[in-house]
A and B are shown apart, each in its own frame.
Chain A
């Protein structure tokens, strides 16, 4: 095994039958939380095994086609959704997890939320001072830096002009990228390894210290005895047949759950563990987003460039409305369903103007009103956009629409199921005021599921203690976005990187 490479086995490498393994620590999931813990634990001398339910797709196999990427790199082939099935909940499901398919945007957790977490959830150690150390560490390790001037896109440049006209301050995004080539394919995986996903950072680093990764391996149960974690049961699934090929029994005195905020609570529920509070799976939030499509008289060609490069966070805090605007390039597959111009010639005409189109995304800080649970053996994400949150979304959409008109748009499509057009800035308020909350009315996408194994000091109201260990089971830790006690309004990746690093230090005894 050459240095700084993945030490990985896939279903093709694993013999059928049963496999018994014994390690010091088993990490469930290879995304942000899992990879960081795998590295930190392996570096501290532990024998670490990482189990990833998704496939291993090396970056040279990335296709730069979203249609293909959804089928190979995303949970449920990109079709994961809430129970009402009107909000698509996107998550990576591959070695490296969502870090492979996110847009690399990074924000430090706002002090506003850290304060709430300290005061209302007893997370007194998550001070700004302590967290700053972790933010600085992951920013260094993942090359998280503000975009350079050239790291932009044609659409972003137009939006900047709009913001200037409206005297709205623009935010220059920070991203975990090295020498971005501006292909615009972040959501399909970075083929040239510019994005600093776990696939090219913490996972090979963990392997440098002896960690081993099993792909195609889904954990079905955490095993515990007398309130102490003992390991996991897992199945290696042949991706060609969908059949279980090998049953794996991993004996480990330390289990770190980092399967993500959907699968972590599902596995705990399957295991019947860590749920004396009844909170496992509850408090789900997802930062619902809606994209407004703007049509210009001239060609914009907003399909290559930095996937995201600017944001507007003038109203990011809940008392300000709780929304965030994000630009994003989009390829034809995405553009084909973001707007409803009408069936037939109207749709053909809309797509013929693809080069004249661009989008601006409104993301809202939402209440933790959802729940992830097992029903008849299948995962259910029970979540609907709260009425109050929807009113905030409308306010955000108004700002979004005004920015797009100021950027020079001729008219806008709102992301409704039926055809909803805004033809002038004067119509913005009246059209958006007419929107009503409801099921199957809007083209929602969520990129940020979170909050299903809430961290807190009180075992009655939280699943995970302030150290990351579950209240109920010793040496069973959670280290993914499940931990977040509240939604945070910004992209949560850097928060997860920092919290995972904090928890790894707790496990390793580096901090009391």
Chain B
């Protein structure tokens, strides 16, 4: 268990905020916020997100694009973390430490030290947990990671999804609607 003292209510908010903020979907460089030194990922956060990416999208043998060939982790940092409010970002740091330490009691290892199979087992167990912060962190960190992957247009072709259509199809704008006469 982490020795970082986090008030339970505050922790719940921060842990759950990961889920909500990750729904921002703003995970592509073109919408990158202002990445300050305070918002950058530290080494542990990079490892946690990388592990989450490895276990969430094991694409070998599938039709999906290998996430190792895509800038998923930079997308999380540059788009999502860059736009995060300072107090949420600070709390997230504690939340990630707490999450990484989560498997210690059962497995004797941190999340990033687990095998991929055990790490996936741990994440699924936390999504079923009675503890709200466990559910919120497991779902939130996973959601954030996969969203950053799917926000990258290169990932769509294997799904058969063709993306934006208006320019491709030459659809003309109708422009502003004329003002009513009455």
Contacts and interface: CB of A to CB of B under 8 A. Distances in A.
Nearest to B31: A71
Contacts of B56: 343-344, 347
B88 to A, nearest CB: 9
A61 to B, nearest CB: 11
A354 B159 contact: yes
A303 B58 CA distance: 25
Interface string A42-86: 000000000000000001100111111011101011111101111
A4 interface: yes
B16 A440 contact: yes
A71 B20 contact: no
Nearest to B59: A348
Contacts of B31: 67-68, 70-72, 77
B64 interface: yes
Contacts of B28: 65, 67-68, 71
Contacts of B132: 438-440
A5 B24 contact: no
Interface in B125-178: 127-128, 132, 135-136, 138-139, 142-143, 146-147, 149-151, 153, 155-156, 158-161, 163-167, 169, 171-178
B17 interface: yes
Given A77-B83, A85-B136, A344-B55, A193 B62 contact: no
Given A67-B27, A67-B151, A337-B146, A86 B164 contact: no
Contact of B174 (A193, A351, A355): A193
Interface string A318-340: 00000000000001110011001
Residue of A299, A304, A417 contacting most chain B CB atoms (<10 Å):
A417
B120 interface: yes
Contacts of A440: 16, 19, 132, 135-136, 139
Contacts of B142: 343
Residue of B19, B21, B166 contacting most chain A CB atoms (<10 Å):
B166
Chain A contact patch, size range: 35 or more
Interface string B83-125: 1010100000000000000000000000000001000100110
Contacts of B169: 181
Given A78-B23, A440-B16, A441-B135, A354 B161 contact: yes
B147 A88 contact: no
Interface in B55-72: 55-59, 62-64
A194 B17 contact: no
Interface in B39-82: 55-59, 62-64, 79
A200 B12 contact: no
A85 B57 contact: no
A112 interface: no
A372 to B, nearest CB: 16
A352 B62 contact: yes
B3 interface: no
Contacts of A301: 160
Interface of A: 4-5, 59-60, 63-68, 70-72, 74, 76-81, 83-86, 88, 140-141, 143, 178-179, 181, 183, 185, 191-194, 196, 200-201, 204-205, 208, 240-242, 299, 301, 303-304, 331-333, 336-337, 340, 342-345, 347-349, 351-352, 354-355, 378, 417-419, 438-441, 445
Given A81-B23, A191-B171, 4 more contacts: A64-B163, A65-B163, A70-B24, A337-B147
18 contacts: A4-B179, A59-B173, A67-B147, A68-B28, A71-B26, A71-B79, A76-B24, A79-B21, A79-B23, A85-B16, A332-B159, A333-B25, A333-B147, A337-B143, A337-B146, A340-B139, A343-B55, A348-B62
Interface of B: 12-13, 16-17, 19-28, 30-31, 33-34, 55-59, 62-64, 79, 83, 85, 87, 116, 120, 123-124, 127-128, 132, 135-136, 138-139, 142-143, 146-147, 149-151, 153, 155-156, 158-161, 163-167, 169, 171-180
CB-CB nearest 8 A-B residue pairs: A71-B31, A71-B26, A64-B164, A85-B16, A81-B20, A67-B151, A79-B24, A343-B120
